[in-house]
């Protein structure tokens, strides 16, 4: 029988990394609105109204403790949203090895780490889903975003590989590819410009639909991919970018 809209996550438990801000906060809110019990794993979880667990996705011991805390709190774990990520600017010469490995450790290995810790619980779930926050940067060839693009390209291929490995266990794995989303992260970038409000207007104007993506719109896509509504979908990436990818445009 079809799952009623608005109760997609009734009885299920979810965790969202990087869920205390921006896109992750909107995802946590959306999953909770659909009936899930939601845990937010973040460096600074206290900003979240949900069950907050301090966690650094760059640290394996921290991740294992956090995932075990969530499973103990809820008695189960059905949905993992790997959303924590950081940016990096510049061409390949702009960042040294330490910075390359730091960003890849958070954006890529963090996903493997959290998912690995969650696997035993997901295998027990009747409705297991992993959704990774990727980016249009994975395939757009963005100028001055070499490290960030490489990290998101890896997220895309990791999503495909995980989907292949775990579908027989009943675990679906997909990702969302946001364009430019109006989050505190983008706000910080705009604030560093000489004229932040002019820069914001210009950024909005560069989007195909004339505005940045709302975090709630990314959360809607994640909710679809995390819910039984997409029970036959695994190994896909869903663009939430105002049509940018289809138009072969770039956000910068």
Which positions are annotated as active-site residues?
A: 148
Distances (CA, A) of 200 to 28, 175, 192, 232: 26, 27, 11, 39
Q: Which residues contact 110 (CB under 8 A, 6 or more apart)?
A: 17, 57, 58, 63, 82, 84, 85
CB of 82 to ligand NAD, least distance (A): 8
List residues binding ligand NAD (CB under 6 A): 17-18, 20-24, 42-44, 55-58, 83-86, 106, 133, 135, 178, 180-181, 183-186
CB 228 within 8 A of CB 241: no
CB of 126 to ligand NAD, least distance (A): 28
**56 or 245: whose CB is closer to ligand NAD?**
56
CA distance 146 to 123: 36
CA distance 95 to 9: 41
**14 or 84: whose CB is closer to ligand NAD?**
84
CB of 240 to ligand NAD, least distance (A): 9
CB of 23 to ligand NAD, least distance (A): 4
**36 or 81: whose CB is closer to ligand NAD?**
81
CA-CA-CA-CA torsion for 96, 97, 103, 108, nearest 10 degrees?
150
CB of 70 to ligand NAD, least distance (A): 14
CA distance 160 to 54: 29
CB of 74 to ligand NAD, least distance (A): 19
**83 or 234: whose CB is closer to ligand NAD?**
83
CB 141 within 8 A of CB 109: no
| DSSP labels, 145-201 | BHHHHHHHHHHHHHHHHHHHHHGGGTEEEEEEEE-SB-SHHHHHHHHTSSSHHHHHH
**127 or 183: whose CB is closer to ligand NAD?**
183
**126 or 187: whose CB is closer to ligand NAD?**
187
Strand 79-82 relative to strand 37-42, pairing: unpaired
Please name the helix (run of DSSP H) or strand (run of DSSP E) that holds residue 81, with its range, or none: strand 79-82
**Strand-pair partners of 128:** 171
């Amino acid at each position: 029988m079809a799952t009623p809209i608005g109760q997609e996550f009734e009885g299920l438990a979810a965790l969202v990394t990087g869920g205390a801000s921006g896109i992750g906060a909107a995802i946590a809110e959306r999953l909770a609105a659909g009936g899930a019990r939601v845990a937010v794993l973040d460096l600074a979880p206290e900003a979240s109204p949900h069950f907050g667990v301090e966690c650094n996705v760059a640290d394996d011991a921290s991740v294992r403790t956090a995932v075990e805390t969530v499973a103990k709190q809820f008695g189960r774990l059905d949905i993992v949203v790997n959303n924590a990520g950081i940016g990096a600017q510049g061409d390949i010469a702009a960042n040294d090895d330490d910075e390359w490995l730091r960003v890849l450790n958070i954006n890529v290995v963090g996903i493997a780490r959290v998912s690995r810790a969650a696997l035993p619980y997901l295998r027990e779930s009747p409705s297991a889903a992993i959704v990774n926050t990727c980016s249009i940067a994975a395939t757009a060839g963005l100028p001055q975003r070499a490290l960030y693009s490489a990290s998101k390209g890896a997220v895309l291929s990791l999503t495909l590989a995980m989907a292949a490995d775990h579908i027989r266990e009943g675990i679906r794995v997909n990702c969302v590819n946001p364009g430019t989303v109006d989050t505190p992260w983008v706000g910080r970038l705009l604030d560093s410009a000489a004229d932040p409000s002019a820069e914001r207007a210009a950024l909005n104007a560069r989007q195909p639909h004339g505005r940045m993506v709302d975090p709630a719109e990314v959360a809607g896509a994640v909710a679809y991919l995390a819910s039984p509504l997409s029970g036959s979908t695994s190994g896909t990436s869903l663009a939430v970018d105002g049509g940018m990818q289809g138009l072969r445009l770039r956000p910068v």
